[in-house]
A and B are shown apart, each in its own frame.
Chain A
Amino acid sequence: MKFLSRFYIFIIFAILYAPIFVVILFSFNASGDLSSFSGFTLHWYSELFRDGQALIALKNSLIIAVTSSLFATIMGTFAAFSIAHSKNKYYQKTMKAVSNIPMMNPDIVTGVSMMLLFVGVASILGFKNSLGIWTMIIAHTTFNLPYVILSVLPKFKQMDKNLIEAALDLGCTPVQTFFKIEVPCILPGILSGLMMSFTLSLDDFVISHFVSHPDIQTLPLYIYNQTAHNVKFSMYALCTLIIVTIFLLLVAVNLMGSKKKKVPQTKKLTGGVSR
């Protein structure tokens, strides 16, 4: 039974990772052919870096991911604060329902609707070019917001209300209380919201596809356009780089998380000595 279960896990994960390994493997394949591996090369990587477009796409991706995740995290944290502290059940429910819309809606509908907004508003205002880097930042901020709220709101709710009262009692104004007590207490939630929106933004293809100007490409858009018609091995190289980066990020986050959890235990062991 135990063996069967292990075997099942192994098979499914093997299938899940097989294509990814193929991409990584063939990004080093000398022959430029998908049927067999004929020798190691870094040719595709140098081709990728010689192509300035990839770097420009990377730069665009980073600009959009950093700004939109920061916007979303700041706005979302304040929004979650206001939802958590509101006494008005109606306000709370409406806010939660609204922030659910971009999560429940398929990406394609979110993308299309934002495109129609930008195009519609531009035509009302008489602009010719409605789509650009700003429309992408707006769209990314919008689909990031619910994830920030979802990771921060429970932290606000779990927080001991007495801590807030204690801060007020010790002389903090509500604004000081927010920055000195509440933000530090819910920092893990804020950071995980930030991480999540940064990654979602980097990964997004569907929504960007609709709200981007053809001249402004992010990495996923670049990959999509480059592979529209034929196989390009330099794209395998790019995918490999992205996969490795994300893998390292994920491992780092997990190590950080487990380290944090371990600290109290070690302290407990040495805690009782100094009395």
Chain B
Amino acid sequence: MMKNRRSLFERIAGAPYVAWSAMFIIAPLLFVLYFAFTDRNGSFTFENILSLTSYSQTFVMSLAFSLIATTVCLLIGYPLAYCMSKTSERVRGILMVLLMLPMWISLLIRTYSLMALLDNGGLVSTLLVKLGFEKLTFIGTDGAVILGMIYDFLPYMVLPIYTSLTKLDKRYIEASADLGCNPLQTLIKVMLPLTMPGIISGVTMVFVPSISTFYISQKLGGGSFDLIGDTIERQFQNAVTYHTGAAISLVMMILILISLAIMNKFSDNDEEIIV
């Protein structure tokens, strides 16, 4: 189409964004690189990166926590999305609003709400004691932190899977049944592959915030927890440790980008955001 004529307006239209992303997307990442590879005097060093070996346990624990949370979210979320997609149009509309409301509420508030429920001396423990159980402590346990991740990020798993399930042409399922698949075979051989883009974007949307969170572990871990997020956050309380913080951030970012790249190999869709 009109090669020469529109391009001027087009280029001017894109220019502010190009400048903005150079200044505030690319440049900040370069600053992370710079801080990660320099010491306090500004001279080049590998010290920060090498010192990360002492954090290896933190990395392993964060990875384990977020993988568990992601897996549980998938195991709860897929059936939920499936059941939701089976309901009538009207019910679906209501369920959609109910599913999206938590996504619109700040994660901080939701984490804080969960804390109110699980707090020592909170509603759940009081109830359990009344029912004759021993007094249990939730806050500060591994379980509480993982539960927090699951609770906070479950809607982000359900929504993309639900969307890909509703987009799924019902005739594929009928065809598969027609060709002799039982429901389980249909699920494994037809539905899972066809909803894979939804699963992958759900997994991404749970895994990335889980592995990098710090306030979930702060609130529900009772301050005794050190995940990668907490470690990074602590380094930035004090200008002295900015360099170590940058190095940890850099490594985490690279790890996440690698895992995203691997996952995206499985699907090459242009995902659209749904409000």
* A-B complex is real: yes
A residues in contact (CB < 8 Å) with B: 5-6, 8-9, 12-13, 15-20, 22-23, 26, 33-36, 75-76, 78-79, 81-83, 85-87, 91, 95, 98-99, 101-102, 104-110, 112-117, 119-120, 138-139, 141-142, 145, 147, 150-151, 154, 161, 165, 168, 174-175, 178, 192, 195-196, 199, 202-206, 209-210, 220, 223-224, 227, 231, 235-236, 239, 242-243, 246-247, 249-251, 253-254, 258
> Beta-carbon contacts of B201-227 to A below 8 Å, as 1s and 0s?
000100011011111000100000000
Q: Across the interface, do A242 and B106 meet the contact criterion of CB distance under 8 Å?
A: yes
Q: How far is the CA of A181 from the CA of B19 in the complex (A)?
A: 27
Cα distance A147–B274 in the bound complex, in angstroms: 10
Q: Which of B28, B87, B98 has the most CB of A within 10 A?
A: B28
Residues from chain A with Cβ under 8 Å of B114 in the complex: 19
CB-CB nearest 7 A-B residue pairs = A82-B14, A106-B212, A79-B17, A113-B28, A19-B113, A203-B106, A5-B83
What residue of chain A has the Cβ atom nearest to residue B26's Cβ? A98
Do B13 and A246 touch (CB < 8 A)? no
B31 lies within 8 A of A120 (CB): yes
Q: Is the interface of B mostly helix, strand, loop or mixed?
A: helix
- Pair B95/A112 contact, Cβ less than 8 Å: no
CA distance A33 to B119 in the complex (A): 11
Provide the residues of chain A in CB contact with B208, threshold 8 Å.
104, 106
Q: A87: which B residues are within 8 A, CB to CB?
A: 3, 7
Task: Please give, as numbers and ranges, the residues of chain B lying within 8 Å of A139 by CB-CB distance.
Answer: 24
By a CB distance below 8 angstroms, the chain B residues around A26 are 116
Chain A min CB distance to B215 (Å): 7
Chain B interface (Cβ < 8 Å from any Cβ of A): 1-3, 5-7, 9-11, 13-14, 16-18, 20-21, 24-29, 31-32, 34-35, 76, 79-80, 83-84, 86-87, 93, 95-98, 100-102, 104-110, 112-114, 116-117, 119, 121-123, 126, 151, 154-155, 204, 208-209, 211-215, 219, 229, 232-233, 236, 239, 242, 245-246, 249, 252-253, 256-257, 260, 270, 272-273, 275
Closest to B230 in A: A108
Residue numbers in A under 8 Å from B204 (CB-CB): 104
23 CB contacts below 8 A, A to B, read A5-B86, A12-B80, A13-B98, A19-B114, A23-B112, A79-B14, A82-B10, A85-B6, A98-B21, A108-B214, A108-B232, A109-B32, A109-B249, A109-B253, A120-B31, A142-B20, A147-B273, A196-B275, A203-B106, A227-B112, A231-B119, A253-B275, A254-B96
